[in-house]
Amino acid sequence: MLETLVPLRLERVVSAAAAATASPAFTALAVTAALVLLVLRLYRQAYQKPENFPPGPPRLPIWGSYWLMLWEDYRFMHKSLLTLAERYKTKVLGFYLGDFPCVMLKDYEDIKEMQSRSDLIGRADVIVARERSLGQRNGVIFSDGPQWSELRRFLLRHIRDFGWGRRFPATEEIMQQELADATALLRGEWDDEEVKRGDRVLISHMFPPYAMNAMWAMFGHARLPRGQHAPWHRIHRSVNKFFRATDPSGSAVSLTPWLRFLTPRRFGLQDVTDFNVPIRDFVQRAIREHREALDVGSEARDFLDKFLQRQKEAEAGAEGNPVFTDEQLLLTGVDMLTASSGALSGSIAFLWQQLLHHPEVQARVQAEVDAVVGRSRVPTLDDRVNMPYSEATVRESMRRVTMAPLSIAHVALEDTTIGGYSIPKGTLLYPHLHAIHMDPEIWGDPENFRPERFLEADGSLKKKDITFPFGGGKRLCLGETYSRHLMFLILTHVLQNFTLLPTGPLPPVDHALHGFALVPDELWARVVPRP
């Protein structure tokens, strides 16, 4: 009897429990409990940060603080970070991009310290950087570690032999030839329909071919003659497309790489892939031609020869050195062309954009050129020391519009501290260069375009330049000296012969297209020969 009753009662209990759980009241209670637990978990994740991590916005699901940054300014990340820093009343802002802990610095001393420290020179390993590097981490811009250090040393050591980053007569002669072609184009002595129509010139896109020609003469021992600049224009358009494809975070596709399988073009990754094609083909063709003509025992003509000779030595010695590979050489060439076509040429475009707003500055540069150089010869780098206002104009232009307002993110290589806060290993650090360049505590009237701020009371150039348009430390842009030289020469050559006037209403002085770096918009100017 008992054996029969026990299973029966158990069956009734189970049935009652099943009936209770199947009731609408129980279902609602279970759903509510699950939602409460989920909210508590998300809340904890949103505000749970490493000990002594800088103040900043919460970490939301999937993209972290990126949601809030997009809400503040979905186009310009540097503006959204400034807004958030003001909201949290901090000069060191802590936030998350997806799973990546990040820190933004806007204090001059903190940025200066960060740039000088070897434990803060890493680069983020994200899908966008790998996509442009053919799935690897090669080249000198987006890589780090021992291979990067050795490659960077080799590049700097040997490309200097051909004039990079120093005074070198052969390189300066090439620069002068390029600028002679540019001024001849402006006079109408030859045509380039890509950038000139009558007396109107697309000033924002005119100078990339000349910048790339001068650089490539050192790197690949070749120049494209006037009238044959189509490959340079094609590469310039491709580089601008790459810059616009993402933002300084790498955009959503870097935070959630699986998005590339859904809509690669929507999130910019396809544009990064497309960017590779013309620039990679150009560099690969040059490498192939150099390899076919290579004589290991002869004197190198350019950096490509130097690298290929070192590659042969590595192969002969069975070193297996991962630095001297075809992939490293290819990406180094891509990096150099990207910098001269995008970063340098963009800075030149922003210089002209500002000078169109300030004809009085153009007039004063012209007066200095007339006084120091005259009209019977062209300006040279020897004149630079005697032309402080022209040099100050270049400096002020790069201060007023910082082309890479957040630089390129650094990565902490170990647990450390900065600005009094703890920085875990792997944290991305963004130096807010725009904030430094527009800080009223440093500049007084940063909104005004005033080259005089870089001059002493007696009109001489201030020896100390506290701007960071090229970054600093071991991550200092390799092309700083070359860029400053070329910007000075372009400014003085053009204004020696012409005055630039607007063709209509001008955009704001700091107008730019958003992207990984600021990209100059199309800007036409009227070129008027000087009497």
What's the whole-number mean pLDDT along residues 26-41? 64
What's the whole-number mean pLDDT along residues 481-508? 96
Residue 269 confidence (pLDDT): 79
With a cut of 50, say whether residue 1 has pLDDT above it: no
- Lowest average pLDDT, out of 71-85, 281-295, 310-324, 336-350, goes to 310-324
What digits encode the pLDDT tens for the residues 434-448?
A: 999 999 999 999 999
With a cut of 60, say whether residue 13 has pLDDT above it: no
Please say whether the beta carbons of 506 and 513 come within 8 A. Answer: no
**DSSP assignments along 134-165, one per residue:** TTS--SSSS--HHHHHHHHHHHHHHHGGGTTT
Binding-site residue ranges:
477
Arithmetic mean of pLDDT over the chain: 90
Q: Which pair of structure tokens corresponds to residue 297?
A: 């025992």
* Coil, helix or strand at residue 416: strand
- Lowest average pLDDT, out of 1-10, 160-169, 306-315, 488-497, goes to 1-10
Backbone angles phi, psi at 408, to 5 degrees: -115, 135
What's the whole-number mean pLDDT along residues 142-147? 92
Binding-site residue ranges for heme:
477
- Lowest average pLDDT, out of 7-16, 288-297, 484-493, goes to 7-16
Residue 410 confidence (pLDDT): 97
What digits encode the pLDDT tens for the residues 258-274?
A: 887 777 677 777 888 88
What digits encode the pLDDT tens for the residues 36-65?
A: 655 655 556 666 888 999 999 999 999 999
Query: For the chain, what percent of residues have pLDDT higher than 90?
Result: 75
With a cut of 80, say whether residue 10 has pLDDT above it: no
Closest to 254 measured CA to CA, from 102, 141, 106, 71: 102
What's the whole-number mean pLDDT along residues 79-85? 97
Model's pTM, two decimal places?
0.90
Residue 7 confidence (pLDDT): 47
* Secondary structure percentages of the chain, helix, strand, coil, to 5: 55, 10, 35
Residue 12 confidence (pLDDT): 57
Higher pLDDT, 214 or 264: 214
Residue 42 confidence (pLDDT): 56
What's the whole-number mean pLDDT along residues 292-317? 88
Q: How confident is the model at residue 450 (pLDDT cuts 50, 70, 90)?
A: very high
Residue 406 confidence (pLDDT): 97
End-to-end CA distance of the chain: 123
Higher pLDDT, 114 or 136: 114
What's the whole-number mean pLDDT along residues 292-298? 87
- Lowest average pLDDT, out of 8-12, 118-122, 182-186, goes to 8-12
With a cut of 60, say whether residue 461 has pLDDT above it: yes
What digits encode the pLDDT tens for the residues 383-433?
A: 999 999 999 999 999 999 999 999 999 999 999 999 999 999 999 999 999
Structural domains of the chain sorted by starting position, each given as residue range(s) with its CATH number in brackets: 66-529 (1.10.630.10)
Residue 3 confidence (pLDDT): 47
Closest to 259 measured CA to CA, from 248, 247, 270, 249: 270
Q: Which pair of structure tokens corresponds to residue 501?
A: 């006037």
Please say whether the beta carbons of 334 and 134 come within 8 A. Answer: no
What digits encode the pLDDT tens for the residues 343-366?
A: 999 999 999 999 999 999 999 999
> Distance of CA 14 to CAs 2, 10, 11, 19, 477, Å?
19, 6, 5, 8, 73
Q: Name residue 122's amino acid.
A: G
